[in-house]
Structure 1
Amino acid sequence: MKRKFLIDVDTGVDDAQALMLALSIPDIEVIGITCVSGNVDVDQVCRNTLKVLSVCNRLDIPVYRGSSKSLAGIVLEASYYHGKDGLGDSYLSKDMDMGLLQREPAAVAMVSLINKYPGEITLVALAPLTNVALSLRLDPSFGNKLKEVFIMGGNTEGRGNSTVSAEFNFGADPEAAFVTLSDLPCPVTMIPWELNLTEASCHPWNWFDDWISHNTPKAQFNKAITHIAVYRQRVEMKSPFYRSCDLTAMAVAVDKSVAIGTESVYATVELSGTLTRGQMVVDWKGFLGKKPNVILVKKVNVERARQMYDEMIK
């Protein structure tokens, strides 16, 4: 029996790569993809998601449009990094048929799918957690019926990439992140921002250059969408390594053995701080006296991950 995956995205470059990876794993059945505003607006996220499915010949997978704003109505986007179209300004998704989208709103669809397959679904959340929080509020039993959850988001050292101290997905909707961490009773594995800043999950540029040079439709698509992000990392940031946060998260989700260093902790989200709103707060010393609610990934097997990345673009 195939493993059932439900994937929540704000499809920019790394979401696209993560989807390609999930779709390349033979024993995984992606039963739905839910879209939310994040890297770009939700309609563009839907277009980009459909384009990825088109490249992978998987337009049979249902795609659902989700929230266009955070729970508090604030919009934070990352077009500077991902391009105005979310896919490196390749404009490869501009002509996608939006009529392919399902009519059911994302949060409603998430609840329906979980109730259809209780205890079977792995939720992989790669975006601001608005859709997830709405699902938790729509159905109080939502979290109990999930098999497990993998979240790309949050930070463990107060290093911000969207504000002074918040990671983008949590900073884009702090209330949703707070609700998600507070209300999910199932196993939750988190791939935090700081993991993507070191060799613990990144890749040398010579490997990346070879990776995008393969002559397949998927590899050519990958090359086309990454050029802006690569410029930001390689030239502006002068990073010695290439990183793709959502791709790392998906690698852990599809193969748990990729996570070779983890720690169980209690984590929550700051909602009121003037400078720290949206920052994930980890109770390293147990001051709050609460049981661990997340498993933090602190190191990954990059060699194993690269094997999967090579396979996904064939």
Structure 2
Amino acid sequence: MSRQRVILDTDPGVDDAAAIFMALGAPEIDLLGITVVAGNVPLGAGLENACRLVALAGRRDVPVLAGVERPLLRDQVYGRYAAIGAFSERLVGADSVTPASEHAVSFIVRQARAAARAGRPLTLCAIGPLSNIAMALRLHPEVAEGIARVVCMGGAFTALGHRTPWAEFNIYADPHAAQIVFGAGVPLVLFPLDVTMQALFTPADVVRIGATGGAPGRALAALMDEHDRSDMARYGRPGGPLHDPMTIAWLLEPGLFAGRPATVGVQVGGATSGHTFADFNDDSPRATVMTDVDEPGYIALVTDRIAALEEETQ
């Protein structure tokens, strides 16, 4: 089986760290690069976090590139845990890789054009605001021919938002970018809060990740302990979600998930800017919205793949 050629677009971020580790360690994925966007934290802090996570995973062959530092049109907003900034050395160590000099948008354009010429479209895995991808598609619409799909963590339909009552953060942070990507005609696989909040990592799961995952697992467990996502009032049971790794998990084991075809859109102005909506009855759907996940299978996959990454680096 040929490996999936993937660019991971991210704003690290605690759950971004889990997704990065999974992508770096997956033999099924040819990770072309990690592109960073402002979102959870400012661009500089996110870039530093990505570089240190790549170093910790022992994958210095994967380029890390800085991208767009602010939303396309709206005022800058950061994630709820923006004060994290750059991860502390106590949690993830001090070793780092040097980021590439090329801009992330240029990298996406160059790789997509090459993929189109080769007849092997690539996958964009987007787990932050969609600013980088939107810029690539708006400045160079032809690169859509080299993109097989955008697999995106974003949106909320039946679930309430987690940054505002009406919006999921990645979309809220740059709704105009989401509008561009959703309307570009590129196949979209969307993981909204409706599905990501179905799988909760309990304290026992975090301990297991730290005990079996070597240096990456210990770092991820430390980050999860430091920035606990548990919310009994909202979830009704112990544990907290890791949203972003679902995109990587779907690439590795799509059978863990179920979804529905839909056409999706986003509100870009007014009091509910960032709100996503879906038409599940459209005769020409352009997206698949994930609706269900096998919770034990997903948690096991995250745990096992991070453990396997450590084995590969020894």
The aligned residue for residue 52 of structure 2 is 51
Stretch of structure 1 that moved more, 122-131 or 241-250: 241-250
Deviation at 1:82, TM superposition (A): 6.1
Residue type of the alignment partner of 1:22: A
Ranges in structure 2 where 5+ consecutive residues have no aligned partner = 308-314
Q: Deviations over 1:42-74 (max 9, x none)?
A: 111111111111111002111110011000152
| Superposition map of 1:175-186 within 5 A | 175-183=176-184, 185-186=185-186
Q: Deviations over 1:241-282 (max 9, x none)?
A: 3310001222112322221x21001110011232x1111111
Query: Aligned residue for 2:252?
Result: 254
Match of 2:265 among 261, 265, 268: 268
The DSSP-based 3-state class of the residue aligned with 1:34 is: strand
Query: Percent identity among equivalent residues?
Result: 24
Number of residue pairs matched by the alignment: 302
Cα offsets for 1:218-248 (capped at 9, x unmatched)? 2211122212332x42578675233100012
* Letter aligned with residue 206 of structure 2: F
Q: 1:93 to 1:125 in 2, by over 3 A?
A: farther
Following the alignment from structure 1 to structure 2, what is the Cα–Cα distance between the partners of residues 162 and 90?
A: 28
Q: Retained in 2: the 8 A contact 1:48–1:93?
A: no
Which letter does structure 2 place at the counterpart of 1:227?
Answer: D
Structure-2 separation of matches of 1:90 and 1:153: 30
Deviation at 1:158, TM superposition (A): 6.1
Q: Taking structure 2 as the reference length, what is the TM-score of the superposition? A: 0.88
Q: State the SS of the aligned residue for 2:102.
A: coil
User: Counterparts of 1:13-24 in structure 2 under 5 Å?
Assistant: 13-24=14-25
After superposition, the Cα gap between the structure-2 partners of 1:208 and 1:136, relative to the gap in structure 1 and judged at 3 Å, is: same
Q: Does 1:157 align with 2:158?
A: yes
Q: Measured at CA, do residues 50 and 149 of structure 1 come closer, stay the same or move farther in structure 2, by a change above 3 Å?
A: same
Q: Secondary structure at the match of 1:147?
A: strand
Aligned counterpart, 1:129: 130
1:278 paired to 2:274: yes
Distance 1:75 1:249 in 2: 25
Distance 1:169 1:126, change over 3 A: same
Quote the offset at 1:310 in angstroms.
2.4
Question: Taking structure 1 as the reference length, what is the TM-score of the superposition?
Answer: 0.88
1:245–1:86 CA distance, 2 compared to 1 (3 A): farther
Q: Which residue of 2 aligns with 1:113?
A: 111
- Contact kept, 8 Å, 1:83 with 1:89, in 2: the verdict is no
**Could you tell me whether the CA contact under 8 Å between 1:150 and 1:189 is conserved in 2?**
yes
- How far is 1:86 from its partner? 5.2
For 1:300 and 1:195, locate their aligned partners in 2 and report how far apart those are by CA, in whole Å. Answer: 6
- The one-letter amino acid paired with 1:192 is P
Specify the alignment match of 2:292 in structure 1.
Answer: 299
SS in 1 for 2:30: strand
TM superposition shift of 1:210: 2.5
Letter in 2 for 1:19: I
Q: Which runs of 5+ in 1 are unaligned?
A: none
Check the 8 A contact 2:15/2:245 in 1, yes or no.
yes
